[in-house]
Amino acid sequence: MAEKATITDVARYANVSRQTVSNVLNSPGLVREETRNRVHEAVKALGYRVNQAARQMRTGRSRIIATRIEPDRDGINGSVFDRFLHSLTASAAQAGYRILLYTADDERSEFATFDDLIGAYEPDAFVLTNTFHRDGRPSWLGERGVPFVTFGRPWDGTGGVHGAAHSWVDVDGAAGTAEATRHLLDTGHRRIGFLGWPAGSGVGDDRRSGWSRTLAAAGVDPTGLDRATADGVADGEAAARDLLDAGHPVTALVCASDSLALGALNAVRLMKTGERPDAPPPVVIGFDDTPVAKAVGLSSVSQPLAEAAAGCVSLLTRLFDSAPSRPPEPAAPPAHLLLQPSLVVRGSA
Amino acid sequence: MAEKATITDVARYANVSRQTVSNVLNSPGLVREETRNRVHEAVKALGYRVNQAARQMRTGRSRIIATRIEPDRDGINGSVFDRFLHSLTASAAQAGYRILLYTADDERSEFATFDDLIGAYEPDAFVLTNTFHRDGRPSWLGERGVPFVTFGRPWDGTGGVHGAAHSWVDVDGAAGTAEATRHLLDTGHRRIGFLGWPAGSGVGDDRRSGWSRTLAAAGVDPTGLDRATADGVADGEAAARDLLDAGHPVTALVCASDSLALGALNAVRLMKTGERPDAPPPVVIGFDDTPVAKAVGLSSVSQPLAEAAAGCVSLLTRLFDSAPSRPPEPAAPPAHLLLQPSLVVRGSA
DNA sequence: TTGAAAGCGCTAACAC
DNA sequence: GTGTTAGCGCTTTCAA
C-alpha cells in the first residue's frame, strides 16, 4: 500500500513549492491555470488528501458537525430521527463535513459532553434535535459562541418565529394535521376527532392546532372531539376507544403520531366486529409516515426529512462562510426554515 | 467564555514543564504523585482538554471509529441498526472513542469514501455492519492495514468461524430460531412452519437452519413447512397464507424477521374471520424484537445489540492496545464473539 | 504569481 | 523524575 502522501510530496511531484499546492487547494484563483493543472495531476497521481488534523490545527476548523443520537425511545416514531440522521450525514458530506455522534442521558451529561467534544474534537457546529420547552442547550452553546442549528423551533418565549435567537429548521406540523383534516372533510366527514398528547409540548400543541383550526373553519365545533394521552400504541387504543364509544362518536381520527394511530386502528378493528356492523369503519390518519404506517396501509402525514437535513447543513454553512475567520463564530443573522409536510393517503382513507 | 487552555497553560499554572503535563496525561506512572496532583488540579482549574488534532498529528491516532449509517431500507427492521448504532456510540465513548458517520450507495462509492476518510480524518478503525456474501470491504480494508470489526460473520468460505481473517461479532441466529421452535414444541405444536428469505443470504440460511434442525430433532419432518420470500409485510402475508391454507396447515410460524411476522399476523387475522372458526389461531413468532413487535404484542427473538456493540469496541481496542505503536495496525490475532439471542414471549404465543 | 519562514498543540526521544 | 528539542502537515503572513 502506498504511504500517505503529504503536501510536500505533491509539491515535489509537480515541481512547485508546498505553498503553491496549498493555494491550489484553498485559493485556486491565485494560481496560474497551467500550474494549477500540474498540481491537480500530482494530487490525483499520488492519491493525495489533505490531512484534517493538520489543517484543523492551522485553521481551527474541523469540518465536523456533532449531533446526539437518540435512544430508541418508545419505538415506532424512532425511525423519524434515523431517517433524518441518514439524510444529515449525506447532506453534510456533500458540503464537506462529517457527522460525529454522541449520546447523553440528561441535560447535565449533555453539557459535560459538549465540553468534552468542544475541547477535544472542536466540532465546527452542533445539530440539536428533539428540542423541547425550556431546552437549555441553545443558550449553553450560544453563550460559548458555538454555532448550531436546531431541528425544531424554539418553543419558549425566547425568540418565536420572528427574531429567534438562533437558526432553526422545522416542519409545519399544524399544516400537516390541517391537510389531514381537510382531506377528511373533503371525503364527507364532519365529526373528526384528534388524538394527541397533553398540552405543553410544543410539537403536540402545534399539531392539535392545525386540526382544531381547520375543523372550526368548516363550521364544526372541535370541543370534546379530542383526547390527550401518552405516546404509545396502547395509550392510543384506549383514547380512541373512548372517542369511538361516545354517545355521538367520531367517524374519523387525526393522530399526532403513528403510534397513536396504530392504537386507534386497533380500537377500530375491535369495534368493527362488535357494535354498529352497518356503519362504515372510522378512518384513521397518522403522523410521520413511519415504515409501520406503510406496512399496515395507514394514511399518514409525511415530514420532508431530507429537506430538513439539507436545510440544517445549509444554514450552518451559511454561518461558517460569513464568519470572520478562524474560530467559526456565528456572524450571519440566524435564519429559519419552516417546511411543509404532505399527506400520504393509503388504503381506504 | 474562557479561552481554550493549552498544555502550556497547564504547565505554567502547575509550575512544571509542558512535557510533565503530557506525562501525567499519558504515562502517569512516570510522575511523582505530588507533581501529578498539582497537574491534575491545574487541569481542572483551567478546564483543560487535550486537543485531538494536535495529539493525532503527533501520534497518528484519531480516536475516531467510522461506520456507515444505513438507509432506512424496507423499514421495520431498520430499527435494529439504529439501536446498535446508539449502543456503539455509547460503548465507544466509554473507551474514549467517537463515532464518525458516512453513507454510501454502493460498493464503489463506499471504497471511495474509505479513501476519503482514511486520507482526511484517519479513523483508527471501521465497524462494518450488514455484511453479506462476497462482501469486498473486509479485504479492501485488510489489504490496507486498516483495523476493523464486522458486526456479522464472514459468510464466505474465506475464513469461517475458525481461522477467520478478521475480527467479528455476531448473534447466533440459528440459536434464536431454535429457541423459538423449541418453545412452540413445548406448547404442544408439531406442525411449525418457517417464513424466511431465499437461500443464499447467510443470515437467512442461518435462521432457517435453527428451525429445521430443532424440528427434525423432535421427529417432525420440516419438508414443505417453509416458504422463502422477500422481506416485507405484504410478502410475509402472502407466504403465510400459502402455508396456512395448505391441505395440512401449520399451527405455528417462526419468521426470519418481524416484517414477515407482521405479514403472517395479518394472514392469521384474515383467516380467523373466515374458515376454521373453531381451531385455535396459529401462533407467530418474529425476529429482532422491533418496536413494532412490542406494539402489536408479537413474540420475537431479541438480539443483544448493546452487548454486540460493546463487543465490537472491545475487539477493536484489543487490536489497538496490542499494536506496535503509531499507525494502529492489527497485531493481535482476530477474535470473534458469537452472542446468544433470547426469545421474548408476548400475548398468547 | 510563487516561495520562504513561522507556528498551531502535542508527544517521542533524549538529556539533565 | 523532570526539562529540552524537534517535528507531525498544514496554512497564514510576508517577501521575492
pLDDT in tens, B157-211: 655 444 458 999 999 999 999 999 999 999 999 999 999 999 998 999 999 999 9
Give the pLDDT band (50/70/90) at residue A327: very low
Chains A–B, number of C-beta pairs less than 8 Å apart: 159
Percent of chain A with pLDDT over 90: 65
**Are A201 and A221 in a shared domain?**
yes
Mean of the per-residue pLDDT values of chain B:
88
The reply to whether A57 Cβ lies less than 7 angstroms from strand C is yes
Which pLDDT score is estimated for A161? 47
Which pLDDT score is estimated for B74? 58
**Are A36 and A89 in a shared domain?**
no
H or E element that contains B196: strand B192-196
Within-domain flag for A348: no
B57 closest CB neighbour out of A54, A79, A89: A54
**Are A295 and A182 in a shared domain?**
yes
Task: List the one residue out of A240, A179, A168 whose CA is nearest residue A202.
Answer: A168
Which pLDDT score is estimated for B300? 97
* CB spacing of B119 vs A49 below 8 angstroms: yes
Mean of the per-residue pLDDT values of chain A:
88
Which pLDDT score is estimated for A158? 54
CA distance A119 to A107: 18
**Are A293 and A310 in a shared domain?**
no
| Å between CA of A49 and C1' of D10 | 12
SS3 assignment, position B128: strand
Those of residues 272-291 in A touching chain B at CB distance below 8 A are 290-291
Chain A residues touching B64 at Cβ < 8 A: 100
The reply to whether A161 Cβ lies less than 7 angstroms from strand C is no
Residue B73 or A12, more confident: A12
Chain B residues touching A85 at Cβ < 8 A: 69, 101
| Å between CA of B20 and C1' of C14 | 15
A20: alpha, beta or left? (left if phi > 0; alpha if psi -120 to 50) = alpha
On the 0-12 / 13-18 / 19+ scale of CB atoms within 10 A, A159 is middle
Within-domain flag for B349: no
**Are A27 and A119 in a shared domain?**
no
Give whole-number Cα distances, B248 to A19, A69, B242, in Å: 79, 48, 11
pLDDT (tens digit, 9 = 90+) per residue, B3-53? 788 999 999 999 998 889 999 998 888 888 888 999 999 999 999 999 999
B44 touches chain A (CB under 8 A): no
Which pLDDT score is estimated for B331? 58
| Å between CA of A143 and C1' of D2 | 39
- The minimum CA-CA distance between A92 and chain B, rounded to whole Å, is 9
> For residue A1, what is the nearest residue in chain B, using CA coordinates?
B144
**Are B186 and B295 in a shared domain?**
yes
Which pLDDT score is estimated for B164? 57
Residue whose C-alpha cell reads 440522521 in the numeric block? A85
> Could you report how far apart the first and last alpha carbons of chain A are, in Å?
59
Which pLDDT score is estimated for B160? 47
**Are B298 and B220 in a shared domain?**
yes
B85 touches chain A (CB under 8 A): yes
A319, three cell numbers: 454561518
Within-domain flag for A344: no
Q: Residue B242 carries which side chain, given as an amino acid letter? A: D
Q: Is the pLDDT of residue A46 over 60?
A: yes
Domain interval for residue B190:
173-302
**What value does the mean pLDDT take over residues A101-130?**
95
Q: Is the pLDDT of residue A278 over 70?
A: no
Q: Is the pLDDT of residue A249 over 90?
A: no
CA distance B53 to B6: 12
**What value does the mean pLDDT take over residues B204-228?**
96
> For residue A69, what is the nearest residue in chain B, using CA coordinates?
B86
Within-domain flag for A273: yes
Contact criterion met (CB below 8 Å) for A299 and A285: yes
Residue A335 or B184, more confident: B184
**Are B311 and B166 in a shared domain?**
yes
**Are B227 and B108 in a shared domain?**
no
**Are A118 and A195 in a shared domain?**
no
Q: Which nucleotides of C are covered by protein (CB under 7 A)?
A: 1-5, 7-13
**Are A37 and A120 in a shared domain?**
no
The enclosing domain of A27 has a CATH number of: 1.10.260.40
Which pLDDT score is estimated for B246? 74
Chain B residues touching A294 at Cβ < 8 A: 75
The enclosing domain of B134 has a CATH number of: 3.40.50.2300
Which pLDDT score is estimated for A33? 85
Which pLDDT score is estimated for A272? 60
Q: Average the pLDDT over each of A235-239, A244-248, B80-84 and give the range with the smallest value.
A: A244-248
Contact criterion met (CB below 8 Å) for A250 and A220: no
Q: Interior CA angle at A123 toward A49 and B71, to 5°?
A: 75
B237, three cell numbers: 402475508
Sheet harboring B148-151: ordered strands across?
A: A336-339, A167-171, A148-151, A125-128, A64-68, A98-102, B98-102, B64-68, B125-128, B148-151, B167-171, B336-339
Contact criterion met (CB below 8 Å) for B274 and B298: no
Give the pLDDT band (50/70/90) at residue B274: low
Q: Is the pLDDT of residue A75 over 80?
A: no
B57 closest CB neighbour out of A48, A53, A116: A53
**Are A297 and A207 in a shared domain?**
yes
A144 closest CB neighbour out of B1, B49, B119: B1
Give the pLDDT band (50/70/90) at residue B96: very high
Within-domain flag for B1: no
Give whole-number Cα distances, B208 to A183, B193, B197, B258, in Å: 45, 10, 9, 14
B144 closest CB neighbour out of A1, A86, A295: A1
B169, three cell numbers: 461479532
pLDDT (tens digit, 9 = 90+) per residue, B124-161? 999 999 998 889 999 999 999 999 999 999 987 655 44
Give whole-number Cα distances, A323 to A145, A317, A318, A320, B321, in Å: 12, 10, 9, 5, 41
Which pLDDT score is estimated for B86? 95
- The minimum CA-CA distance between B203 and chain A, rounded to whole Å, is 22
**What value does the mean pLDDT take over residues A6-24?**
89
CA distance A35 to A16: 8
CA distance B234 to A347: 13
For the ranges A71-75, A252-256, A271-275, B68-72, the maximum mean pLDDT occurs at A252-256
Which pLDDT score is estimated for A157? 64
CA distance B210 to B182: 10
B119 closest CB neighbour out of A4, A71, A120: A4
Residue whose C-alpha cell reads 473507551 in the numeric block? B95
**What value does the mean pLDDT take over residues A287-292?**
90
Q: Is the pLDDT of residue A131 over 70?
A: yes
In this prediction the pTM is 0.92
| Å between CA of A85 and C1' of C8 | 33
Those of residues 93-112 in A touching chain B at CB distance below 8 A are 93, 98-103
Within-domain flag for B282: yes
Q: Is the pLDDT of residue A88 over 60?
A: yes
Which pLDDT score is estimated for B4? 82
Within-domain flag for A248: yes
Contact criterion met (CB below 8 Å) for B61 and B328: yes
Which pLDDT score is estimated for A74? 58
Count structural domains, chain A. 3
Contact criterion met (CB below 8 Å) for A72 and B291: yes
CA distance B80 to A87: 18
Other Cβ atoms within 10 Å of A33 Cβ, number: 8
| Å between CA of A229 and C1' of D14 | 68
| Closest nucleotide to B32: CA versus each C1' | D1
pLDDT (tens digit, 9 = 90+) per residue, B300-312? 999 999 999 999 9
Interface test with B, best of A86, A139, A266, A270 (most B CBs within 10 A): A86
Give the pLDDT band (50/70/90) at residue B279: confident
Within-domain flag for A345: no
Which pLDDT score is estimated for A162? 47
